[in-house]
Structure formats: C-alpha cells, structure tokens
Structure 1
Amino acid sequence: METAIRKGKTPFHANHIFPFGLSQSGYFSSSESEALVAYGDTLYGLQNGLISPENAEEAMFVMELNSDETATLYAVKLWQKFLFAMTTSNGF
C-alpha cells in the first residue's frame, strides 16, 4: 500500500477476532492482509482517537472514515472492509 500514513508501531494481527490470522480469514487478499498487518495499528489508533493525524493523508483518513460519503482513500476502504469483516466473523 503506497501511502503517507505511517506504519504501525507494532504489527496488527487481530488474533482475538481472526485466530488463524488475517490472511486465513477468508475476508482479505494477500496484499490486503499485508497492509493491515503493517498499518492496522495506526488505522486503529486514528479511528479511536488514540493518536492524532501527523499529515494530510492521516487527517483525510479520519475525515473520510467519519463521513457518510463514499471513501476515496484506499486505507479507508480497507479499514471499512476490516470493520465489516470483524462484525460478521464468527463470535461477533
């Protein structure tokens, strides 16, 4: 994923939701899984206000994520896909 969004401080695996890993969940392609592992920690922090945007793309991520309009950023589309998969996976 080519982006100005910073990579997460730790790899994002969401093992509590997808115990066999993001790539084995059946929801994500290989490249989507790799992007979530690399950037998911940051995307989670931006969504929940745990970290503040440090650049224009991160600010746009927060704005688009909280908007009813169709997302244009790949990171927003991927994170929305993750959120949907999380709510429809077994156990939730």
Structure 2
Amino acid sequence: MSTAVKMDEEAKSKLEELQAEIRLKTGKKVTQQAILTQLIESAVDSRTEFVDSFRDGKTSLSETEIQQFNEGTIASGVETDEEDIDDVLYG
C-alpha cells in the first residue's frame, strides 16, 4: 500500500539531491520511496537518539554530571517517609 507524504520544497529538493548522489556514487537508480524507507529503518535502529532530536534543549545528564550530582548529596542519618514529606509541604 502506498500513501502520499507531503513535504516542503526544501525537503523535496534534499531528497532529490540524495537520490542523485546515490545514483552517482553507486550506479544504482533508487526510488524516493526506497530512500525514505531506508531512512526510517535507520531511525528505528537508533530510536532514542532520533526521538531526542525533536526535544528542545538538553534532555539528559552525562555520566560526569550524574557523578557530580551524587557527590553533592549527603545522608543525614534521618529516615524520611511520605508522611514527613507531606507534613513539611502541606503543614
């Protein structure tokens, strides 16, 4: 089953450039549908990175940042439960 996908002129132009480069470098004529299918498969293989590319700003801490955060925490020796937290927050 084939479905039409709308894209702006810039995206269409880049897709055509990619199609031409593939033909030039491989000697194979590939359809734009085949290119889009391959791009989707590549995105699925690195799904987390692909999804994160749509986020605004930085989304996660590096290992160094996590370590620095954990080094800044201390144990007070006092056990705190949910009721204690509710008392502090809501009086």
TM-score bracket, shorter-length normalisation: under 0.3
TM-score by length of 2: 0.25
TM-score by length of 1: 0.25
Instruction: Compare the two structures and name the one with the higher helix fraction.
Output: 2
Q: Which has the larger radius of gyration?
A: 2
